[in-house]
Amino acid sequence: METRRWPMILFTIMLIALIYNFLATIFSSDVKRFSNDRIYVDYSTYKKTPTEIEKANNSPIIFQQIAIARKSMDTGRMESSMQAYNSYFQTAISHKPPPPMEMPAQNSKYEEMMTLARKNPDGLSRARIAFSEGRHAEAMSDFNAILLALPEADLKHRMDVSDAISECFFAQKNKDGYIQFKVKYVQLVRQIRDLTHQAYPNRPLSAFDGWMTSQEATQQLLKVRTLSQDLQARAEPLIRRAEYDLEVARQLNQ
């Protein structure tokens, strides 16, 4: 029985080998194979081999040049957009009438005040530097000399210098000097406001007259004292200023 099986076994092995060889030939061949009902395609035939142009395009120099070209292209687009926007904006503005220029009314005092305000008094910068460095006595001496040399019509600089002198007195804890020059400061603020209103009567007059009322100053003092209970020594300048400002309000509202 065993001798009869050997031919069958050999035939099966040969059949398997032929089938394997046939399939391997189909899938490894570079040639399309046709039959009546099937097409066997080797997709390896569709692989592209790199050409000389593609090899050149893959070089770092080409990549760098392409990046520069794209950057310049984007810059050109941005410049074109900005030029178009500016052109449109200028066209739109040209069709819109300019706003009417408000000219000040004839007022010699206002014109003189504005002319003097554009000039910088001698020694003003030096006095401000001395004050910022804590040399209050020297700064106050310089400010007083400047104030005496200023014309009466120079309200702007007289206002600034009076305020600076009051701050020098405050730094030296001189209550009377602070109140005196702070009152002068507020009075000058009101003069400037009135002159400006005379020159521009169409502008609404500000309700603020340069200082708080006595009631507002009292409320401010109470608020500072309440909020400064935990600050101890650091709260002393705040409370002192609130007390001085209340006296200024009383002097102005007498």
**What does the DSSP 8-state code read for residue 194?**
H
Dihedral of CA 66/67/70/72: which sign? Answer: negative
Give the model's pLDDT for residue 129: 93
Alpha-carbon span 244 to 179, nearest angstrom: 7
Q: What are 199's two structure tokens?
A: 């020159």
Q: How far apart are CA 22 and CA 33, in angstroms?
A: 12
Q: What is the structure's pLDDT at 220?
A: 83
For helices 108-117 and 175-199, the axis angle rounded to 10 degrees is: 120
Gap between the Cα atoms of 242 and 219, Å rounded: 10
The count of other CB atoms within 10 Å of the CB of residue 170 is 21
User: What does the pLDDT profile of the chain (254 residues) look like in tens digits?
Assistant: 456 677 777 778 888 888 878 777 766 654 444 455 555 555 555 555 555 545 555 556 666 666 666 655 555 555 665 566 566 556 655 555 555 555 666 678 888 999 999 988 989 999 999 999 999 999 999 999 999 999 999 999 999 999 999 999 999 999 999 999 999 999 999 999 988 888 888 877 776 677 888 888 888 888 887 776 666 656 788 888 989 999 999 998 87
Neighbouring residues of 119: CB distance < 8 A, sequence distance ≥ 6: none
d(CA 123, CA 129): 10
Q: How far apart are CA 219 and CA 195, in angstroms?
A: 31
Residue-level pLDDT at 128: 93
Burial 121-145, CB ≥16 within 10 A → b, else e: beebeebeebbeeeebebbbebbee
Task: Name residue 226's amino acid.
Answer: T
What is the model's pLDDT at position 135? 93
pLDDT score, position 184: 95
